[in-house]
């Protein structure tokens, strides 16, 4: 029950962050088969959260020796691989993430990170 509650809170935070990114960062958009944009955001956030909370944790812990050996540079490859996996998983549920340039992607990830961090501060008392 605790994992589910924290998963739902984190999904809501990521959905808010994605909304801000899609509204204010030019060059990033979502296309989906869902007619309601909030449904699209929640499904995309759930997929993103599931991959980053479960799979990323396992992969990062398993690759610790490589990250130490490469002084952390292997973390960049892991992040790119997880981002690619998230992109593929989103396509499988009928959502296409369209990013027009590397600059848009970098700004979008930075904005998503900042908004998520701010939202995490507010939901921290709700965590179990």
- pLDDT value for 88: 93
Contact 97, 87 (CB under 8 A): yes
- pLDDT value for 93: 92
Structurally, how many domains does the chain consist of? 1
Q: Residue 43 corresponds to which tokens in the numbers above?
A: 């499904």
Distance CA 80, CA 74 (A): 10
- pLDDT value for 123: 81
Tokens 């479960």 identify what position? Answer: 54
Beta bridge partners of 32: 95
Q: Residue 56 corresponds to which tokens in the numbers above?
A: 């990323």
- pLDDT value for 79: 81
Beta bridge partners of 28: 99
- pLDDT value for 121: 86
DSSP 71-107: TTHHHHHHHHHHHHHHHHHHHHTTEEEEE--HHHHHH
Enclosing domain of residue 54 = 2-126
Report which of 28, 29, 32, 30 is spatially closest to residue 101, judged by C-alpha positions.
Answer: 28
Q: For 95, which DSSP code? A: E
- pLDDT value for 43: 93
| pLDDT per residue rounded down to tens, the chain (128 residues) | 778 888 888 899 999 999 999 999 999 999 898 888 889 999 999 999 999 888 888 988 998 998 899 888 888 888 888 888 988 999 999 999 898 988 888 888 888 889 888 888 888 777 77
Measured distance between the N- and C-terminal CA atoms of the chain, rounded to whole angstroms: 9
């Amino acid at each position: 029950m605790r994992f589910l509650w924290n998963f739902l809170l984190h999904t809501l935070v990521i959905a808010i962050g994605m909304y801000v990114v899609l509204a204010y960062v030019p060059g990033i958009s979502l296309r989906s088969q869902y007619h309601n944009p909030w449904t699209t955001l929640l499904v995309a956030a759930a997929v993103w959260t599931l991959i980053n909370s479960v799979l990323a944790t396992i992969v990062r812990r398993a690759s610790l020796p490589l990250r130490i050996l490469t002084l952390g540079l292997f973390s960049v490859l892991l992040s790119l691989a997880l981002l690619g996996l998230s992109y593929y998983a989103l396509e499988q549920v009928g959502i296409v993430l369209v990013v027009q340039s590397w600059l848009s992607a970098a700004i979008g990830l930075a904005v998503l990170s900042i908004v998520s961090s701010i939202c995490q501060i507010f939901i921290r008392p709700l965590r179990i």
